[in-house]
Chain A
Amino acid sequence: MRQALTIAARDLRANFLTAFGLGSTAGFAAAAGVVLVVVLRGNQARLAGWFGTLYVLLGVLAALLTMRSFAEEERLGTLELLLTSPVRPWQVVTGKLLGVAGVLLVDVAATLACPLLVASMGHPDAGPILTGYVGVILVGLAFVAVGLAVSAATSNPLVAAVGSLAVLLALWGAGIVSGGLTGWPRLALEELAPSGHVVGFLRGTLSTKDVVYFVSLLALGLVTNVVVLEERR
């Protein structure tokens, strides 16, 4: 685990020492602010629309944050060093996940000003804000795991980012496609899409099936990541 933490600390530091890392955090916070303004034009102290858009933005952020995790290392030739060192693939993957998760936490913390502002102006229901942020963490980690897996499979950061977005859009699209179906195919596609699993977070409820879904996505992303690294080794 020590090796994983070392990798995480290195990535975390590297991220915030670059203009890209700072820019993505500042950009995410600013985007959250713009979305808040649009949502508050409904003259209601409700943040469901804000969190809903934040979940979509998290997909983009996860793709941006993970694109360099493996692909950039391979491009620079440092991945080979990492894979031939005595560190096991799962330790590398865990380290990378923790590194990006740390960045994600900072990014999410930067949006806390939004609900605080709303609370200072109106009386929002605290429950949906709490579950909304639980959702942000779960959705963010799951999307990061998907992004890491895609990043590990390519040497081009751009391809990694586009690939991650494609996977996430395909999952999101399953929810849209399900609308035209009936019976169990509809149910299966609905359950496959993240869109159906974030609705509860927006309303102030936490259900086991939603939590299990995002933990599953996280686990599947990590396993895929380990398998890809094992193959490349």
Chain B
Amino acid sequence: MTRIARGLAATALVATALGGCHHAPRTTADRPVAIVTGAEAVGASIVVSAAGRSGPVPAGDMRTALAPLLAARVLDQPEGPTSYGLDHPQARLEYTTASNRPVVVLVGAPDFDRHFLYVGREGDRRVFLVPAAVLRRVLALVGVTVAAPS
């Protein structure tokens, strides 16, 4: 009976997950999602670059906003990168630590009402929406102006 119960529990989980998939939206918005987690950002130097200009993100508010870097929404099944301006990103953020591989974050176009910017992480096909207010000052360091929301 234990084997039966185990098997059933596993099947029930799969079934619930499959059923849930049918209901699941293409995007998630319940809670912020970490694009770069706190653990990845600990001790990392963050460099912002755009159009040949680059510079380190200074410590303080600006760095706190990027480590961890949180997204308000995630597009799990995005269109191609062109739709979000991620084929020609307007800026990139590079998190480098002594021990881990560098994490590269691409900053794309603003969304339809300019409240968010599309952001991608190299090696991750998902597209994230980060509040424009979080990135505005950081991008200004390399001369990129983020338009105010409509």
A residues engaging B (CB < 8 A)? 38, 41-42, 49, 52-53, 56-57, 59-60, 63-64, 67, 157-158, 161-162, 165, 168-169, 172, 175-176, 195
Contact = CB atoms under 8 A, between A and B. Distances in A.
Contact of A60 (B3, B16, B23, B31): B16
B22 A172 contact: yes
Interface in B22-46: 22-23, 30-31
A56 B19 contact: yes
Interface of B: 3-4, 7-8, 11-12, 15-16, 18-20, 22-23, 30-31
A34 to B, nearest CB: 12
A165 B30 contact: no
Contacts of B31: 41
A59 B22 contact: no
A157 B4 contact: yes
The binding surface of chain B is classed by DSSP as helix
B4 to A, nearest CB: 5
Nearest to A162: B11
Nearest to A67: B8
Contacts of A63: 11-12, 15
20 contacts: A49-B23, A53-B19, A53-B20, A56-B15, A56-B16, A57-B16, A59-B19, A64-B8, A67-B8, A158-B4, A158-B8, A161-B11, A162-B7, A162-B8, A162-B11, A168-B15, A169-B18, A172-B22, A175-B22, A176-B22
Given A52-B23, A64-B12, A165-B15, 6 more contacts: A53-B23, A56-B15, A56-B16, A60-B12, A60-B16, A158-B7
